């Protein structure tokens, strides 16, 4: 019998990268484990995302509710899903977002769970730096920097796939009991849900021609979640806002220099787009009048927060993507569009994933200034066929790793079913 897989994912909707995690994982699971019953257990979905799942994954069940520490589910639908599922998969994430769910699941059911392409940065936000600096620091940290809950969740996991090699390096220093601690890319690499109609309208409105425009994605150093959620800022928020104000002109100046170089070299259009909801206002405030007069007519800002399928489709048809956000380049690569990730020192170790998969544009540190970013883009523009061939190879490597990851998920589910049959239980029923 085919296994039942419960996916814990869909962390938030104000970030199209976080939106892309779940459909990416579901696509990988459905592609490499055909016939499996897939159940999504989200933290947060809006109507736009529900419509996306209904259209792209009509066979996938969505259940809601919370799992209490004693293993009791708060809704009948979640209770039924937990009883039916053979394995629980924690989706791609910047941390162990739901470690407590993994622990409660294991204690209540005795069934396996694992992590499907996560990062774990034991330094951020206390210490920041370049990726090389962070890699040096994590080598000597040890188990003492993690809380007991995270260690318990990691020790008990049937598999831990790390979406970047710095996370893998750190976890390997902990002597975990988990039998699998390996590199496994972010599930966004498998995201393939498009919105042709909306993307066509965006391109018409902004005069974009396929293969002849650049998408640019801005970001501040600390994400203003309080702003997007309409919350009163904490003292930490106020401090981070001041830090953002210190660096925003420098960081967006790196993007502006890249835009200027691109327009003057190609004469093509540029669309500045958001990966997170707050970035619409950020782009409108910082791009336009500040650009040279000969460049300004070629640059437009998308005046709204768009959906992940819209973004994926527009990225697919672009000449390239340059982004300070981490997931837009993954989405571009998934559609064979070369991309450059410009990393800020406040971002986590996840940025190493671009080097790990051999991305054509790769990653550059924003502290290296505008020359590093525009040079990376120039390499793509100077050899477009070579860049696309390298991007295609990157995508294939990511897909092969995702295939292996799904194989491990299925193996865990099969082992559990074999144990139940041997004990005289029906597969899919709670062992009691």
Per-residue pLDDT tens over the stretch 253-276: 999 999 999 999 999 999 999 999
Banded pLDDT at 359 (limits 50, 70, 90): confident
What is the model's pLDDT at position 330?
96
Please state which CATH number belongs to domain 196-392.
3.40.50.2000
273 vs 17: CA distance, rounded Å: 13
Q: Provide the pLDDT for residue 119.
A: 97
Euclidean distance between CA atoms 69 and 99, whole angstroms:
11
Check if 4-190+396-422 and 196-392 are the same fold: yes
Average pLDDT score over the chain? 94
Residue 288 in this model has a pLDDT that exceeds 90:
no
Q: How many CB atoms lie within 10 A of CB 98?
A: 21
Position 421 scores a pLDDT of: 41
Per-residue pLDDT at 360 exceeds 60: yes
* Residue 181, SS3 per DSSP: strand
pLDDT score for 422: 46
Q: What is the arithmetic mean of pLDDT over 129-157? A: 96
In tens, the pLDDT along 159-199 reads: 999 999 999 999 999 999 999 999 999 999 999 999 999 99
Q: Are 147 and 120 in contact (CB under 8 A)?
A: no
> How far apart (Å, rounded) are the C-alpha atoms in residues 342 and 363?
6
Local structure of residue 349 (DSSP, 8 states): G
Cis previous bond, 125, omega within 30 = yes
* pLDDT for residue 431 is more than 80: no
In this predicted model, what pLDDT tens digit does every residue of 21-69 receive, in sequence order? 999 999 999 999 999 999 999 999 999 999 999 999 999 999 999 999 9
**Sheet of 339-343: strands edge to edge?**
299-301, 269-272, 213-217, 320-323, 339-343, 363-365
pLDDT in tens, 84-142: 999 999 999 999 999 999 999 999 999 999 999 999 999 999 999 999 999 999 999 99
pTM, full prediction: 0.94
If you average pLDDT over residues 355-365, what whole number do you get? 88
Three-state DSSP class for residue 33: coil
Given a cut of 90, whether residue 416 has pLDDT beyond it is no
Give me the pLDDT at residue 417, please.
55
Query: What sign results for the dihedral spanned by CA atoms 427, 50, 56, 322?
Result: negative
By percentage, how much of the chain surpasses pLDDT 70?
96
Q: Can you give the residue ranges of every domain in the chain?
A: 4-190+396-422, 196-392
Return d(Cα 14, Cα 356) in angstroms, integer: 27
CATH for 4-190+396-422? 3.40.50
Q: Is the pLDDT of residue 7 over 70?
A: yes
For residue 425, pLDDT beyond 60: no
């Amino acid at each position: 019998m085919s296994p039942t897989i419960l996916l814990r994912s869909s962390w938030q909707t104000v970030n199209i990268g976080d939106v892309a995690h779940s459909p990416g994982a579901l696509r990988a699971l459905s592609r490499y484990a055909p016939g499996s019953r897939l159940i999504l257990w989200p933290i947060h979905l809006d109507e736009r995302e529900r419509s996306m799942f209904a259209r792209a994954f009509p066979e996938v069940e969505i259940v809601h509710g919370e799992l209490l520490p004693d293993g009791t589910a708060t809704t009948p639908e979640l209770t039924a899903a937990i009883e039916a599922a053979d394995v629980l998969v924690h989706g791609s994430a910047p941390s162990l977002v739901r470690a407590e769910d993994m622990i409660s699941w294991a204690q209540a059911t005795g069934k396996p769970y694992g992590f499907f392409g996560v990062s774990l940065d034991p330094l951020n936000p206390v210490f920041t730096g370049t990726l090389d600096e962070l890699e040096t620091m994590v080598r000597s940290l040890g188990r003492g920097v993690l809380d007991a809950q995270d260690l318990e969740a990691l020790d008990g996991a049937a598999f831990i796939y790390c979406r970047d090699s710095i996370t893998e390096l750190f976890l390997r220093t902990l002597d975990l009991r988990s039998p699998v601690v390996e590199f496994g890319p972010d599930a966004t690499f498998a995201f393939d849900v498009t919105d042709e109609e909306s993307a066509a309208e965006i391109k018409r409105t902004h005069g974009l021609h396929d293969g002849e425009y650049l998408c640019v994605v801005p970001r501040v150093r600390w994400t203003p979640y309080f702003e997007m959620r309409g919350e009163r800022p904490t003292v930490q928020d106020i401090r981070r806002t001041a830090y953002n104000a210190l660096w925003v002109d420098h960081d967006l100046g790196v993007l502006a220099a890249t835009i200027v170089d691109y327009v003057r070299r190609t004469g093509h259009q540029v669309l500045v787009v958001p990966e997170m909801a707050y970035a619409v206002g950020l782009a409108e405030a910082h791009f336009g009048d500040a650009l040279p007069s000969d460049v300004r007519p070629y640059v437009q800002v998308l005046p709204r927060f768009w959906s992940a399928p819209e973004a994926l489709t527009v990225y697919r048809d672009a000449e390239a993507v340059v982004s300070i956000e981490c997931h837009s380049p993954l989405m571009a690569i998934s559609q064979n569009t070369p991309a450059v990730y410009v990393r800020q020192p406040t971002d986590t170790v996840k940025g190493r994933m671009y080097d790990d998969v051999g991305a054509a544009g790769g990653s550059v540190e924003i502290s290296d200034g505008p020359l590093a970013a525009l040079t990376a883009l120039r390499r793509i523009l100077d050899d477009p066929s070579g860049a696309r061939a390298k991007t295609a190879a990157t995508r294939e490597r990511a897909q092969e790793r995702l295939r292996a990851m799904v194989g491990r998920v299925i193996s865990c589910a099969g082992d559990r079913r074999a144990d139940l049959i041997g004990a005289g239980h029906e597969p899919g029923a709670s062992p009691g």
